[in-house]
Structure 1
Amino acid sequence: MSGNRTNTLLLTVIGVATLLVAVIGATFAYFTANITGTEEGTTITVGAGKLTIAYADPHGPSIAGSIQPEVDAPAIHKDFTITGTNSTTAVMPYSLALVIQSNNFSVDALKYSLTSDNTDGNGQIVQSIEMTDLGTGAKTIELGSGFFAGVISGSRHTYVLDIFFPETGENQDVDKGKSLAGYVDVRVGEVYTTTTTVNP
């Protein structure tokens, strides 16, 4: 009887230890997958290709700070460039999102726009977005997808994200002391190889 209890206890300890190793391994893999390609890194390696993200602003992708009503100028201006390098014929897709962590401005107070430029003519850029209401509250706004294609060395897609607090000519005191915090998120899609079919 004592031998059975010892075996059961030993098997239970081994089972719990195995479960802990599996959970820790799965958790590590989950966080690794989520960290790769976020705004915190400036280089994303994808197989034989590499995407590099460069922000003209020393604050990188962060969007925060004092915002004042402006007639024509953006309250926040973000220039960033995604550079693709690839030694294969694989297509390297990516997507852009504006992640708003907090925004307690009134619903119609803020607007955003995205200006896109396929600087070197490779692949496809995220399409430009004309001035659009930002709304209020925390959210993720999908800006669109782009890709680099084929063998490239330093091909660039350049973007400008502007956030506006337009001067309305009316009292805007309701938005005094309000704050906005967020960042630009660059995500990598699944890399795939293109195939060409020739019809006889």
Structure 2
Amino acid sequence: MTATRLVLLDRDGVINEDSPDYIKNADEWRPIPGSLEAIARLSRNERRVCVVSNQSGLARGLFTIDDLNAMHQKLRAALERIGGEIEGIFFCPHAPEAGCDCRKPAPGLLLAAARRLGVDLRGVPFVGDSLSDILAARAVGAEPLLVLTGKGARTLRDHPDQIDPAAVFPDLAAAVDHLIDRGA
């Protein structure tokens, strides 16, 4: 399968509800309405789907790796029930002040996903809700798409000069409809 058939997704605010207090366990992890069905549509339309997400709550001691794995298992199980699949979940566990190269907007997390998947990210759609998602996508030549869920509306309001208006969607479901309709 070619790289153009891959779709990258941020997690919090794109797939699931976000919280300023962080999503700390599987009980707090709740999908945004329509997001799981959108991922299932990608799967049924022969798209590879991967999640790339900053998870600084690990470094902050707000949750453990077991908690994070339980959240991801809940995501995978819910998708499996409706015919969706996540091929890979890549996350940065570091705090912002760590200065790592994997925390978005740095490109390291996306580059690690590209190496593991054996793909070139040029032109690959990356759906996010924050400026760091947009900048990380640009840094690797991916196509940034912004959803207005999560932090998306604030991102658009605060950084309109950084956002292509044609790449803004109300939610993941609308972004996926756009990608499938255009054959991306």
Q: Which has the larger radius of gyration?
A: 1
Query: If the length of structure 2 is used for normalisation, what is the TM-score?
Result: 0.28
